[in-house]
Amino acid sequence: MVDTQDTASRARTRQAIIDAAIAVLGKNLSAPLSEVATAADVGRTTLHRYYPERSDLIKAIKAESVLRLSRATERARLAEGTGAEALCRLCEEYFEVGDVLSLVFSESQFLSEDDWCQFGGAEDRFGAAVERGHRDGSVDPDLPASWLENVLWSQLYAAWSYATEHGVSRHHVLRLTIRTLAGAIAPRP
């Protein structure tokens, strides 16, 4: 991207802004830019120097979010193992992207249809894993892929906020999440 022309110093500042923006705007997408600047520990002037308009900043954190989610999807190796195992791995990996979860899930306005498509067929691979799960008996055939996608996201978001609000160990919360998800998708006995 444009980062190519950034010196080391500018790259660090840019990253600090992006991280702060994901954290602050994840909690409230209409938070004033001054809050983002404060969180990033930079002046409002500097923020405007890197991202002239609010929409530029939004575009940037959108790109960053998609990037992190893509990498997480990659790491989950959705094509391996049973369908249920693949979904649990995906859950584990997505849990690691942290603040991005709030951004993508709670602000439903954030990622448009187009953004999701551009986020490169993760949806397809997800659907394929669910299909496989339906066939190999590890995923309840009554639950369609679109529903499970919904469940997974809400579960993740709930887990993340539970961890941050209750101040519980993330590792512990992740175990609870996997346990809950596994039970939710398993076929009826």
Partner DNA sequence: CCAGAGTGGAACACGATTGTTCCAATACGG
Partner DNA sequence: CCGTATTGGAACAATCGTGTTCCACTCTGG
The residues that touch a copy of itself, with contacts defined as CB under 8 A, are: 27-28, 30, 106, 108-109, 140, 142-143, 146-147, 150-151, 153-155, 157-159, 161-162, 165-166, 176, 179-181, 183-186, 188-189
What does the alpha-carbon distance between residue 29 and residue 58 come to, in Å, rounded to a whole number? Answer: 9
Query: Which residue is associated with the tokens 């998609």?
Result: 66
Using alpha carbons, select from 79, 93, 71, 74 the residue that is nearest to residue 133. 79
Using alpha carbons, select from 53, 62, 158, 161 the residue that is nearest to residue 110. 62
If binding is defined by CB under 7 A, does position 29 make contact with DNA?
no
**Using the rule CB under 7 A, which residue among 9, 108, 166, 167 binds DNA?**
9
Q: Which of residues 38-67 bind DNA (CB under 7 A)?
A: 41-46, 48-49, 52-55
For residue 49, the minimal CB distance to DNA (Å) is: 6
153 contact, one of a copy of itself, DNA, none, CB 5-8 Å limit per kind: a copy of itself
81 or 187: CB nearest a copy of itself? 187
What does the alpha-carbon distance between residue 185 and residue 177 come to, in Å, rounded to a whole number? Answer: 12
137 contact, one of DNA, a copy of itself, none, CB 5-8 Å limit per kind: none
Which tokens belong to 74?
A: 């990659």
What does the alpha-carbon distance between residue 55 and residue 48 come to, in Å, rounded to a whole number? Answer: 11
Site string for DNA, 96-135 (x = CB under 7 A): ----------------------------------------
DSSP code of residue 78: T
Which tokens belong to 104?
A: 């993508």
Q: Where are the beta strands (DSSP E) in 36-160?
A: none
- Contact residues: DNA, CB under 7 A: 6-10, 12-13, 32-34, 41-46, 48-49, 52-55
